[in-house]
Chains A and B, each alone.
Chain A
Amino acid sequence: MRNVWIIAKREFSSFFATPVAYVFIAIFLMLSGVFSFFIGNLYDRGQADLLPFFNFHPWLYLFLVPAIAMRTWSEERRSGSIELLMTLPISIWEAVLGKFLAAWAVLGLALVLTFPLWLTVNYLGNPDHGIIVAAYVGSWLMAGAFLAISMCMSALTKNQVVAFILAVVVCFLFVLSGSSMVVDALQPWAGNLLIDTVASFSFLTHFEAMAKGVLALNDVGYFVLSVVIWLYASLIIIEQKKAD
């Protein structure tokens, strides 16, 4: 655990040593504001809640999380520093977990910095704070799932751009799989079981309840499990490809 902490600390400060974290946070704050006010009509709805804000998170994460995760492993392999990392007395899972936690903390920080929005609805009315806290937690969990996928894609290639595109595509599949578009496309020929299975992988469906402030065990479990599985996949990929 000590090593996980050391790695996470290094990675976290590296996000802030380069403009990556600042740009990410600035863009995230700007876009989430734009989406909730102009497209989500936060004011016009006349309700003191943050539902329009949270509803756009899957779409924001779709592009922003792969961007923050794309360098995690590909840069490490391209520069050769992976050789250094793997010959230090640190096991791969410690490195994987450390890197994940560091980037997840940056995402968490970006979420925390949206607090003015919370203050705004507080000023305008009396929102249910429990719901908002739950939605924040849910959003952070979903961000973790996006992050784990993106990191796994970053482990696949030395090229950051390729890592980014792969991550966006895979994340997109998971976001979309429950949408009416996919379900409609499957409807004519696939059985109900297949449709249900595909739909159950959807980030959107699992996040829907969370955005409304319901932290159901199956939704939380789904995102936690996604994180674990994708991180485990990256561990195997790194083990296989570290020296390529």
Chain B
Amino acid sequence: MICVKNLSKMFDQFTAVDDLSFEIQSGDIVGFLGPNGAGKSTTMKMLTGFLTPTGGTIEFDGQSLDSNQKMIQKSIGYLPEGAPAYGDMTVFGYLNFIAEVRELKGDVRRERLKEVIEKVELQSVLNRPIENLSKGFKRRVGLAQAIIHDPKILILDEPTDGLDPNQKHQVRRLIQALSRDKIVIISTHILEEVTAVCNRVMIIASGKLKFDDTPQALQQRSRYYHAVTMKLSYAADISGLAEIEGVADMEVDRVSGEVTLFPESGQFILGPVTDYVQHRKLPVDSLFVEQGRLDEVFRSITTEEAAA
């Protein structure tokens, strides 16, 4: 369990992290969201012991990071932002070096190296210097390095940045496949990633915690949550749609010709809407229920303070 209380970090006059408090239980896969410069990386750097907080405390299973840094670092796997590594080493040499530092010995080390290399599919580049690898491979080497000792806590700063869609999918599967009693903290810009992998979302903006709940709760924040969007093949009289029971509002996109109906809170309007469409024989090409638009929620959460 990670327990963070009143954490803050100042760089000269600039407050990067401002009075952050949260708890993370085993089994939590936390998605750290926030605009660039929000303090995500700074928070992660403090969690891993790289940066010393200006104020506040960080505890792992009741032990403070301050006094047990080395012990705690042994149980953390960390992928820093940009996946830095020793470029002149070969992939295998590098992973072997990390395994050595992580106190893996003999057969166990061989076993773990083999497993990790297979998991992130590095077989084809094992003997190439890291500096000659593509961005995607570098990222995967960084990931392999982070999980080699099977850590209890995994902290990944933008693990899918620079990966192609297949590799992203693979990394997400990898994270999901980690056993259930671990803590995983991922920072990302990609909102879909959060709903795909995480069971908890934390949004940070200007160093403050703005949202802390499940991805579903984040979707529910959207006014598009359970809204119905349909596309008409040609213009028709749609004024009646707004009158359907449970529909709070209607919006028409004149460019795409899409009509969106917003439900009153907690209402499911798909049934009544389809009934109405059939009854009036409206020329509907497509019709679907929205899951909530995360980018819109993200925008409203991260900018509301700035506006105020």
Contact = CB atoms under 8 A, between A and B. Distances in A.
Given A87-B49, A242-B50, A14 B86 contact: yes
A90 B100 CA distance: 12
B89 A14 contact: yes
Contacts of A90: 101
Contacts of B71: 89
Contacts of B101: 3, 6, 88-90
A18 B88 CA distance: 7
Contacts of B48: 87
A91 interface: yes
B163 to A, nearest CB: 19
Contacts of B88: 14, 17-18
Interface in A157-210: none
A15 to B, nearest CB: 9
Given A6-B97, A6-B100, A84 B84 contact: yes
Given A10-B86, A14-B88, A79-B87, A87 B76 contact: yes
Contacts of B50: 83, 86-87, 242-243
B80 interface: yes
Interface in B68-86: 70-71, 73-74, 76, 78, 80-82, 84-86
B51 interface: yes
Interface string A78-96: 0111011011111100000
B289 interface: no
Interface in B107-163: 129, 145
Interface residues of B, number: 28
Given A3-B101, A89-B101, A83 B70 contact: no
Given A3-B101, A10-B97, A14-B89, A87 B73 contact: yes
Interface string A21-33: 0000000000000
Contacts of B210: none
A81 B73 contact: no
Contact of B80 (A3, A18, A84, A89): A84
Contacts of B78: 84, 87
Contacts of B100: 6
Nearest to B42: A243
A88 to B, nearest CB: 5
Contacts of A18: 88
Given A89-B74, A90-B101, A81 B86 contact: yes
A123 B82 CA distance: 58
Nearest to A81: B84
A14 B129 CA distance: 11
B221 interface: no
Given A10-B86, A14-B89, A242-B50, A80 B97 contact: no
Contact of B85 (A81, A87, A242): A81
Interface string B163-183: 000000000000000000000
Contacts of B51: 243
Contacts of B80: 80, 83-84, 87
Contacts of B97: 6, 10
Contacts of A13: 89, 93
Most chain B CB within a 10 A radius of its CB, from A79, A80, A89, A243: A89
Contacts of A89: 70-71, 73-74, 101-102
A17 B98 contact: no
B45 interface: yes
Closest 8 CB pairs of A and B: A80-B84, A83-B80, A87-B48, A89-B73, A81-B84, A17-B88, A89-B74, A89-B70
Interface of A: 3, 6, 10, 13-14, 17-18, 79-81, 83-84, 86-91, 242-243
